[in-house]
Chain A
Amino acid sequence: AQSVTQPDIHITVSEGASLELRCNYSYGATPYLFWYVQSPGQGLQLLLKYFSGDTLVQGIKGFEAEFKRSQSSFNLRKPSVHWSDAAEYFCASYGGSQGNLIFGKGTKLSVKP
């Protein structure tokens, strides 16, 4: 079965430091990949998506992600984290048996002042 794995449950970084959140997917063909962010008590907001083409995609709020087929990864990065980036981040892949999004279990990001 198709799956999305986010190995890190919780990450803490200092404000101004760089960030990388890991995501691995299992899918034979080229997947459609997404990163969503969820602030406390809020719904999910799309940060960026990858369907095809350039493997480095830019998103909102200064985030980017790189698709690496050889590693089955789609890691999210930001060069300098702001306190407002503290949230939970979900990686997702399109193509479940019902044609739906398959979500990872999420990575909670805490930001130290």
Chain B
Amino acid sequence: NAGVTQTPKFRVLKTGQSMTLLCAQDMNHEYMYWYRQDPGMGLRLIHYSVGEGTTAKGEVPDGYNVSRLKKQNFLLGLESAAPSQTSVYFCASQRGSAYEQYFGPGTRLTVT
């Protein structure tokens, strides 16, 4: 039981490049989330999904897209990377409404 995994762990992009971050969970959780963590800002919600095939915007969605084609996977895409997207990205999953979230180890992204 791996829990929540994220791929890749580290990535460096040039401004304007695109990439996809993959989150996978093996706990059969319904809800999945993408956060970004910046110094002094805590965690901010980018996008989330309450089930396969559904996605919704969070607090800071601009510049990101997501897809949840399979229940166990939640993809985060950066269409045209900007230096302001340099951050640590965390994925989390949750069994259902009002339960605790389980976090992946994070992806450290640097955009130059």
Contact = CB atoms under 8 A, between A and B. Distances in A.
A99 interface: yes
Interface in B85-111: 90, 92, 97-98, 100-106
Interface residues of B, number: 23
Interface in A56-95: 90, 94
B33 interface: yes
A11 interface: no
A90 B98 contact: no
B19 interface: no
B42 A104 contact: yes
A106 B42 contact: yes
Contact of B45 (A98, A104, A105): A98
A74 B45 CA distance: 22
B100 A103 contact: no
Contacts of A51: 98
Contact of A32 (B4, B98, B105): B98
B109 to A, nearest CB: 14
Given A44-B90, A44-B103, A99 B97 contact: yes
B27 interface: no
Given A34-B100, A98-B58, A100-B48, A90 B42 contact: yes
Contact of A45 (B42, B43, B103): B103
Interface size class of A (residues with CB under 8 A): 20 to 34
A105 B42 contact: yes
Given A32-B98, A98-B45, A98-B48, A43 B104 contact: yes
Contacts of A46: 100-102
Nearest to B58: A98
B41 interface: yes
Given A32-B98, A51-B98, A94-B98, A103 B42 contact: yes
Interface of B: 4, 33, 40-43, 45, 48, 50, 56-58, 90, 92, 97-98, 100-106
Interface of A: 9, 32, 34, 36, 41-46, 49, 51, 90, 94, 96, 98-101, 103-106
